Amino acid sequence: KNEVEQSPQNLTAQEGEFITINCSYSVGISALHWLQQHPGGGIVSLFMLSSGKKKHGRLIATINIQEKHSSLHITASHPRDSAVYICAVRPSENYGGSQGNLIFGKGTKLSVKP
């Protein structure tokens, strides 16, 4: 079983819809990252969070440390949001964590239709 699980694997939405992508993890963590990857490969960091909630424009990320679960929400989705969204966790020290050792989920491929 992967240490980081994302759902759904694929998601198709109509422009304007509210989108939720979920991430569950099984290790203790010091931080969780949400990343965006466009075709061609480049990865952009959207959020890094260790508790609570963060908002940036139409994107909202939440995390529940006790339940080992995080969600990424996109409000008023747009075709330019189409990308792969990846959840990655940084294991805490007692799980062998360090600055570099991110564990990634397989990603959620989002397609937003006009």
How many other C-beta atoms lie within 10 A of the C-beta of residue 5?
Answer: 15
Among 55, 78, 106, 113, binds other proteins (CB under 8 A): 106
Using DSSP's 3-state secondary structure scheme, residue 51 falls into: coil
Residue among 13, 72, 89, 103 that touches other proteins (CB under 8 A): 103
Which residues between 26 and 45 bind other proteins (CB under 8 A)?
Answer: 30-31, 33, 35, 40-45
Torsion of CA 34, 40, 42, 45, to 10 degrees: -20
Tell me the closest approach of the beta carbon of residue 37 to other proteins, in angstroms.
Answer: 9
Closest CA to 47 of 19, 20, 85: 85
- Give the integer Cα–Cα distance in Å for 71 and 64: 9
Provide the terminal-to-terminal Cα distance of the chain, rounded to the nearest Å.
Answer: 36
Binding segment toward other proteins, per CB under 8 A, in 11-19, 59-67, 69-77, 99-107: 99-107
Do 81 and 14 contact (CB within 8 A), yes or no?
no
Name the one range near other proteins by CB under 8 A: 12-20, 54-62, 66-74, 82-90.
Answer: 82-90
Among 55-63, 64-72, 74-82, 84-92, the segment contacting other proteins (CB under 8 A): 84-92
Binding footprint of other proteins on the chain (CB under 8 A): 4, 30-31, 33, 35, 40-45, 48, 86, 88, 90, 98-107
